[in-house]
């Protein structure tokens, strides 16, 4: 009754026969730093309502790709379209970029960071921020400087997820933090994502903890796409986890 091979549907994160709307379209993107090819002819189309994992070791171009999409790095070649527009002032309200490093003032309290963000971002949702803050077990009165690395990573995630941005870019949200915080962050993402109205691009090399979140995974190597596909289809085709596939690709 249940034939695994015939039950699988082609394509990525297919949502019936409805035509896809792409929130992000990249064509032939390249970026060079001196002699290093940070991005080499990257092309992709990200439909609305999906979570993508950008996977690769350090220096594979993950961060550069996210920064190009956020409009923080100017590519040498190729085009980026966010809702049909080039990265600019207009797309800043569509894209929420959460960097790997801290950009919050150490002397601010968690509550102050929240009200600062509420004033700064027009699409800030106070209710969602509150809900996330409770879920992440962040104490409003604590100063950023006194938070552990894990707690600061949780706070960063809120800065991205509490906005009504259509495209959320999370750069290495799990890097260098404790397992409990990793779990909270993965669960927080699952909680805030409903498959509608928003897409998330998450770069990481912590594949084991995050792979259950992804519709599509993209493996980067030396700035080019080594492999891209629907996570469930890859599990069917290769008979292994994305994490094992990751180890195989970068062996």
Partner 1 sequence: MKVEFDQSRPIYLQIIEDIKRQIATGVLKPGDKLPSQRDLAVQLQVNANTVQRAYREMELLGIVETLRGQGTFVRAERSIVEETRGDMVSTLVEEFVTAMQALGYDAEAILLHVRQKLADTAGNGGERNGK
Q: To the nearest whole angstrom, how small is the minimum distance from the Cβ of residue 48 to partner 1?
A: 12
* 31 vs 154, beta carbon nearer partner 1: 154
Binder to partner 1 among 176, 240, 247, 248 (CB under 8 A)? Answer: 240
User: Judged by CB under 8 A, does residue 1 bind partner 1?
Assistant: yes
Binder to partner 1 among 163, 167, 211, 223 (CB under 8 A)? Answer: 211
* 116 vs 135, beta carbon nearer partner 1: 135
For the chain, helix (H) and strand (E) counts, in that order, are 10, 9
One symbol per residue from 152 to 191: x for binding partner 1 (CB under 8 A), - otherwise; what is it?
A: -------------------------------x--xx--xx
Residue 11's contacts (CB-CB under 8 Å, 6 or more residues apart) are 230
Q: To the nearest whole angstrom, how small is the minimum distance from the Cβ of residue 43 to partner 1?
A: 23
User: Judged by CB under 8 A, does residue 13 bind partner 1?
Assistant: yes
Residue 170's contacts (CB-CB under 8 Å, 6 or more residues apart) are 98, 157, 160, 189, 200, 201, 202, 203
Question: CB neighbours (10 Å) of residue 10?
Answer: 7
Q: What is the DSSP string of 193-216?
A: --SSS-EEEEEES-HHHHGGG-SE
Number of residues that bind partner 1 (CB under 8 A): 33
């Amino acid at each position: 009754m249940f034939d695994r091979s015939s039950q699988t549907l082609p394509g990525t994160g297919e949502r019936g026969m409805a035509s896809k709307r792409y929130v992000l379209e990249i064509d032939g993107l390249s970026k060079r730093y001196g002699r290093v090819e940070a991005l080499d002819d990257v092309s992709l189309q990200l439909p609305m309502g999906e979570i993508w994992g950008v996977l690769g070791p350090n220096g594979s171009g993950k961060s550069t790709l996210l920064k190009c999409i956020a409009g923080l790095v100017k590519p040498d070649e190729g085009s980026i379209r966010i809702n049909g527009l080039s990265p600019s002032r207009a797309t800043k309200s569509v894209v929420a970029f959460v960097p790997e490093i801290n950009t919050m003032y150490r002397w601010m309290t968690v509550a102050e960071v929240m009200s600062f963000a509420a004033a700064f971002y027009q699409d800030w949702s106070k209710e969602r921020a509150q809900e996330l803050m409770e879920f992440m077990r962040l104490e409003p009165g604590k100063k950023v400087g006194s938070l552990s690395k894990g707690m600061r990573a949780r706070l960063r995630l809120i800065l991205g997820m509490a906005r009504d941005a259509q495209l959320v870019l999370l750069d290495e949200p799990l890097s260098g933090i404790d397992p409990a915080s990793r779990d909270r962050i993965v669960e927080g993402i699952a909680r805030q994502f409903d498959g509608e109205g928003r897409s998330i691009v998450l770069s990481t090399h912590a594949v084991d903890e995050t792979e259950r979140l992804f519709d599509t995974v993209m493996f980067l190597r030396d700035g080019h796409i080594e492999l891209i596909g629907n996570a469930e289809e890859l599990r069917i085709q290769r008979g292994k986890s994305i994490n094992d596939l990751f180890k195989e690709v970068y062996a």
